[in-house]
Chains A and B, each alone.
Chain A
Amino acid sequence: MNALLAVPLLVPLCGAAVTLLLRRTPRSQRITGTTTLSVVVVAAALLLWHTRDGTIATAQAGAWEAPLGITLVADPTSALLLLVSSVVLLIVLLYAIGQDIGGLSRATPQVFHPVYLVLTAGVNLSFLAGDLFNLFVGFEVMLTASYALITQAPTRARVRASMIYTTVSLTSSILFLTGIALVYALTGTVNLADVSDKLDAAPPALRMVLALLFLVVFGIKAAVVPMHFWLPDSYPVALTRISAIFAALLTKVAVYAVIRTQTLLFARDDTSAVLAVIAVVTMIVGILGALVQSDINRIMSFALVSHIGFMLFGLALGTVAGLAGAVVYLVHHIVVQATLFLVNGLIRQYVGHTSLTDIRGLTAVSPALAVFFFLPALSLAGLPPLSGFVAKVALFQAGVDAGGLLAWAGLAAGVLTSLLTLIAIFRVWTRAFWGTPRPDVLEAREQLRSGANRGGLRIMTATTGAMVAVGVAVALAAGPLTEVGFTAAEGLLDGRAYVTAVLGEGAR
């Protein structure tokens, strides 16, 4: 178990070091990156297999006992998210490699490969961290890497966006560190299980303040309304490969952290009302933003913000079914967002930009592209039989079961948001995909397809197709996935099992 928990952290870091040494030979960099991420995918799959029945795997670094040393923990939730995120990371890396082979990107591969693998290590550490401080370290590793990635191929717009992004992220990091210091002052430990144990004795008012502080910290990173303003501003301007991974993973890691801290540390404190209100506001404000945008990337960024609300709604319900819905929604959303941003990258490749005002007839330009957009977009809106439908049904079912004013308000907001998402998608569909394409776009397509970068374009299309296929697979595996979701949710709500797994039977 020890090895399996350490592989997702150590292997990407080793890979980053090797790609840094091999920066003069792009080919070996690509091979190293792909191998590294494949190993992580295998390790994550084994970890999920091991934890599928609710087992909690732990590893104590350096054989230091739990509250003293560094603890790595994998429960079904983290193992599932680890697997999905590493699959997405691998596919986006292959897409980027295709783009580089075709010479279709202005990114600097020498920098991209090492930093991308460091980002992987940060994401994985965030999922596996068993104490607050390592969660912070995981976040920082991930964010530091993202600061470097967002300014790849710097332009005026990118540098401006990255300034906002960095400032906001650093603010949230400072609050995070403050929160950890307060928790340490209150309990004398940062180990999640130990904190969960010792917060019992803390005054309820203080616990509430801490719960809300952590909600703000991760809320900023998860782009929850009203702390979402930075996301639609910074993500769309980054390179495709980077905005795809940011949209798919960074916000979801923060949502995972919200779920983990609110269920494990602050389960006794009723933040569900706050969460439900935030969830409703996030859904509505986000999707209204998407409706008025005229750039596909920006529409998708606002939709991303809006759909974070669904996961918070699941958490706010606080029931097993609600959390199971939130976990399934996380999986669905990671895959769908990555797919949509990759498709936007392909559109950018064919047309040169993603502004709706000047795109038409994409169906005629590339039928494959139309299919690749249509499936995940409908999935995002929640149409059956796609993965979004599965996730939303799970959530709505939980909401109906829970009952109460806030649950019904969340349900109403969820249905409305789904409809508005559909409208936003059809706006893109009718304006960008219907009609006859401009002749110069067709000419550019012929050039692209016959030129030296043909192979690269093929790889990009194939990897986007693979991502769509993963999305369809999520829908096909709805049964087992929901089962794992329920096991995960039971684990999340059963704080005792987590504490016992980490601290041993002797714990109070």
Chain B
Amino acid sequence: MSTDRPEGRPLVAGPGTPDESSGPPESWEAPRERWLSTVVRPAFGPRSVLLEVVTRLLVPAILLFSVFLLVSGHNRPGGGFAGGLVASMAYVLRYVAGGRHELLAGLPMRPNGLLAIGTLLGCVTAGLPLLVGRPVFDSVKWEFTLPLFGEVKLLSALFFETGVYLIVVGLVLSVVAALGARMEAEEEEARIEERERASLLRRRRAAARAAASAPPPAAGEEPS
């Protein structure tokens, strides 16, 4: 986290939580508009309007692209693994731009749940052919015509790929949650503790000065 923030000012400035201190915004690039879904507290450094706007614009496009990779992957480059990696990059971008609250707000469910559902989907797709006497992992092809789309070829392997997709997203997100978000939360706790200790110290000094019937403080003793 940046250490150049003035002490005692709220870390969050934005329309969601009006800046209580009457000073100017924390830096010239701190946006006043809300671009992401939560009150932004970026994972690294100060807020950046550029990053937030780009994230807002790119995340839907990245997710759509990941779905494209997923469905086109059978005979062309792509597939569940690549699609899952791309999709998880969208969430990582949100995390970098908006911090861990933004990451949690964007998730449909906990990473563990994604992992579990992905594994289940993959195993069931792999195992279903066994019930009709076909080899494990056997795939069925359906071809039909849809309005607007035209000829559509659907393979049952797509469900397996979807499982892989969910596993990859779940895995990357649990890594981000374990290595990034948790450390961030611990840092934040430490910072809050630090601030509380500082204010306690200030209060004690003030009390001590009041008890000493307020002699004029020596220069340099007053905390700036």
A residues whose Cβ falls under 8 Å from a Cβ of B: 2-3, 5-6, 10, 13-14, 16-18, 20-21, 23, 59-63, 70, 72, 114
A18 surroundings in chain B (CB, below 8 A) = 116, 120
Q: Mark contacts of B92-134 with chain A using CB atoms, 8 A cut-off: 1 yes-contact digit, 0 otherwise.
A: 0000000000000000000011011111101110110010011
A72 surroundings in chain B (CB, below 8 A) = 136
Most central of B116, B120, B136 by chain A CB within 10 Å: B136
Asked if B137 is at the interface (CB within 8 A of a chain A CB), the reply is yes
Q: Quick one: which of B113, B116, B133, B136 contacts A10, CB cutoff 8 A?
A: B136
Asked if B33 is at the interface (CB within 8 A of a chain A CB), the reply is no
Q: Which residue of A lies closest to B157 (CB)?
A: A62
B118 surroundings in chain A (CB, below 8 A) = 17
Asked if B48 is at the interface (CB within 8 A of a chain A CB), the reply is no
Interface of B is mostly: helix
Asked if B72 is at the interface (CB within 8 A of a chain A CB), the reply is no
Q: Are B130 and A62 in contact (CB under 8 A)?
A: no
Q: Are B116 and A62 in contact (CB under 8 A)?
A: no
The answer for the CA separation of A332 and B33 in the assembled complex, in Å, is: 70
- On whether A10 and B127 interact (CB within 8 A), knowing A17-B119, A20-B112, A20-B116, the answer reads yes
Q: Mark contacts of B134-147 with chain A using CB atoms, 8 A cut-off: 1 yes-contact digit, 0 otherwise.
A: 11111100000000
Q: Are A6 and B119 in contact (CB under 8 A)?
A: no
- On whether A14 and B137 interact (CB within 8 A), knowing A2-B130, A21-B113, A23-B112, the answer reads no
Q: Are B137 and A62 in contact (CB under 8 A)?
A: yes
Q: Which residue of B lies closest to A114 (CB)?
A: B116
- On whether A10 and B138 interact (CB within 8 A), knowing A20-B115, A21-B116, A23-B112, the answer reads no
Q: Are A62 and B139 in contact (CB under 8 A)?
A: yes
Q: Which residue of B lies closest to A70 (CB)?
A: B137
A59 surroundings in chain B (CB, below 8 A) = 135-136
Q: Are A17 and B123 in contact (CB under 8 A)?
A: yes
Chosen A-B contacts, 5 in total, with CB atoms closer than 8 Å, are A14-B123, A23-B112, A62-B137, A62-B138, A63-B138
Q: Are B120 and A6 in contact (CB under 8 A)?
A: no
How far in angstroms is the closest Cβ of chain B from A110?
9
**Once A and B bind, how many residue pairs between them come within 8 Å at the CB atom?**
63
The answer for the CA separation of A21 and B139 in the assembled complex, in Å, is: 27
Most central of A10, A23, A72 by chain B CB within 10 Å: A10
The answer for the CA separation of A368 and B212 in the assembled complex, in Å, is: 74
Q: Are B137 and A61 in contact (CB under 8 A)?
A: yes
B130 surroundings in chain A (CB, below 8 A) = 2-3, 6
Q: Quick one: which of B122, B124, B127, B135 contacts A60, CB cutoff 8 A?
A: B135
Most central of B120, B133, B135, B139 by chain A CB within 10 Å: B135
Q: Are B123 and A61 in contact (CB under 8 A)?
A: no
The answer for the CA separation of A404 and B116 in the assembled complex, in Å, is: 56
B134 surroundings in chain A (CB, below 8 A) = 2, 63
Q: Which residue of A lies closest to B136 (CB)?
A: A6
The 3 closest A-B pairs by CB, nearest first: A20-B116, A17-B119, A6-B136
How far in angstroms is the closest Cβ of chain B from A25?
14
Q: How many residues of B contact A (CB 8 A)?
A: 21
How far in angstroms is the closest Cβ of chain B from A32?
12
How far in angstroms is the closest Cβ of chain A from B88?
18
B136 surroundings in chain A (CB, below 8 A) = 2-3, 5-6, 10, 59, 61-62, 72
How far in angstroms is the closest Cβ of chain A from B28?
45
- On whether A14 and B116 interact (CB within 8 A), knowing A6-B136, A62-B135, A62-B137, the answer reads no
How far in angstroms is the closest Cβ of chain A from B66?
22
How far in angstroms is the closest Cβ of chain A from B129?
9
The answer for the CA separation of A21 and B110 in the assembled complex, in Å, is: 10
How far in angstroms is the closest Cβ of chain A from B182?
14
Q: Are B116 and A63 in contact (CB under 8 A)?
A: no
Most central of A13, A14, A17, A18 by chain B CB within 10 Å: A17
How far in angstroms is the closest Cβ of chain B from A451?
33
How far in angstroms is the closest Cβ of chain B from A68?
13
A17 surroundings in chain B (CB, below 8 A) = 115-120, 123
Q: Which residue of B lies closest to A14 (CB)?
A: B123
Q: Which residue of B lies closest to A69 (CB)?
A: B137
The answer for the CA separation of A18 and B137 in the assembled complex, in Å, is: 20
A6 surroundings in chain B (CB, below 8 A) = 126-127, 130, 136
How far in angstroms is the closest Cβ of chain B from A359?
39
B126 surroundings in chain A (CB, below 8 A) = 6, 10, 61
The answer for the CA separation of A10 and B126 in the assembled complex, in Å, is: 8
The answer for the CA separation of A62 and B221 in the assembled complex, in Å, is: 78
The answer for the CA separation of A3 and B126 in the assembled complex, in Å, is: 11
- Given A2-B130, A62-B139, A72-B136, 16 further pairs, Cβ under 8 A: A2-B135, A3-B130, A3-B136, A6-B127, A6-B136, A10-B126, A10-B127, A14-B124, A14-B127, A21-B113, A21-B120, A59-B135, A61-B126, A61-B136, A61-B137, A62-B135
A14 surroundings in chain B (CB, below 8 A) = 119-120, 123-124, 127
The answer for the CA separation of A80 and B214 in the assembled complex, in Å, is: 88
- On whether A63 and B135 interact (CB within 8 A), knowing A10-B127, A20-B112, A21-B113, the answer reads yes
Q: Which residue of A lies closest to B170 (CB)?
A: A20
The answer for the CA separation of A23 and B122 in the assembled complex, in Å, is: 20
B112 surroundings in chain A (CB, below 8 A) = 20, 23
How far in angstroms is the closest Cβ of chain B from A152?
15
Q: Which residue of B lies closest to A111 (CB)?
A: B112
The answer for the CA separation of A14 and B130 in the assembled complex, in Å, is: 15
The answer for the CA separation of A2 and B128 in the assembled complex, in Å, is: 12
The answer for the CA separation of A72 and B134 in the assembled complex, in Å, is: 15
How far in angstroms is the closest Cβ of chain B from A129?
14
How far in angstroms is the closest Cβ of chain A from B119?
4
A114 surroundings in chain B (CB, below 8 A) = 116
How far in angstroms is the closest Cβ of chain B from A502?
14
Q: Which residue of A lies closest to B121 (CB)?
A: A17
Q: Are A16 and B119 in contact (CB under 8 A)?
A: yes
The answer for the CA separation of A16 and B127 in the assembled complex, in Å, is: 15
Most central of A5, A59, A62 by chain B CB within 10 Å: A62
Q: Which residue of B lies closest to A121 (CB)?
A: B123
A10 surroundings in chain B (CB, below 8 A) = 123, 126-127, 136
